[in-house]
């Protein structure tokens, strides 16, 4: 009788043990990056544009820039940046949520990249991984767009 009870306990304990499982999350958004984006990155959430102290949201295909003391989003840059050339200016990949919340830190950290023109862009790359990248926004659009004010979503304390 003891053997039966002991065997039953061992069998039940084996059934109740959860087998460890591993999850691997890999996010690649090469196809979402514009052709003027920098090469060498399999994933980019935002590009910081140090020459104009603004951002580009890679996944939403929108610019985020300061307008009337508020961060706003737009499909195109405002007319005041009409001479800005996205193909020949330096872009810094920033993989964190709402990087503009920490703009003072980012501006200071990447101030040495202002005026640099030595970055290879996806359009000019011969790498196979960029063969079928997204070509929707060439950065030349100057159309008038409705601007949306960016609200702080309180996730800035949890960078990715």
| Residue 49 main-chain phi, psi, to 5 deg | -105, 90
- pLDDT of amino acid 69: 94
pLDDT tens, residue by residue, 27-82: 565 557 899 999 988 899 999 999 999 999 999 999 999 999 999 999 999 999 99
Q: Where are the domains of the chain?
A: 26-125
Q: Are 142 and 79 in contact (CB under 8 A)?
A: yes
Average pLDDT (115-144) is: 69
Average pLDDT (125-149) is: 57
How many whole angstroms separate alpha carbon 31 and alpha carbon 20?
34
Query: What are the Cα distances from residue 133, in Å, to 42, 90, 144?
Result: 11, 19, 26
- pLDDT of amino acid 9: 75
Nearest C-alpha neighbor of 66 from the set 104, 111, 112: 104
- pLDDT of amino acid 41: 87
Q: Taking the complete model, does pTM exceed 0.75, yes or no?
A: no
Q: Which two tokens stand for residue 56?
A: 């580009």
């Amino acid at each position: 009788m003891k053997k039966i009870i002991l065997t039953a306990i061992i069998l039940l304990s084996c059934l109740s043990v959860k087998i460890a499982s591993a999850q691997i999350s890999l996010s690649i958004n090469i196809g979402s990056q514009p052709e003027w984006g920098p090469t060498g990155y399999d994933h980019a959430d935002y590009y910081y544009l140090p020459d104009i102290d603004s951002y580009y949201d890679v996944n939403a295909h929108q610019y985020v820039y300061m307008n009337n003391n508020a961060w706003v989003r737009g499909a195109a840059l405002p007319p005041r940046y009409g001479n800005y050339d996205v193909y020949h200016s330096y872009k810094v990949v920033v993989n964190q949520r709402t990087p503009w919340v920490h703009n003072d830190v980012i501006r200071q950290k990447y101030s040495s990249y202002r005026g640099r023109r030595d970055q290879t862009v996806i359009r000019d790359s011969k790498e196979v991984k960029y063969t079928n990248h997204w070509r929707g926004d060439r950065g030349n659009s100057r159309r008038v767009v409705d601007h949306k004010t960016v609200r702080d979503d309180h996730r800035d304390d949890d960078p990715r």
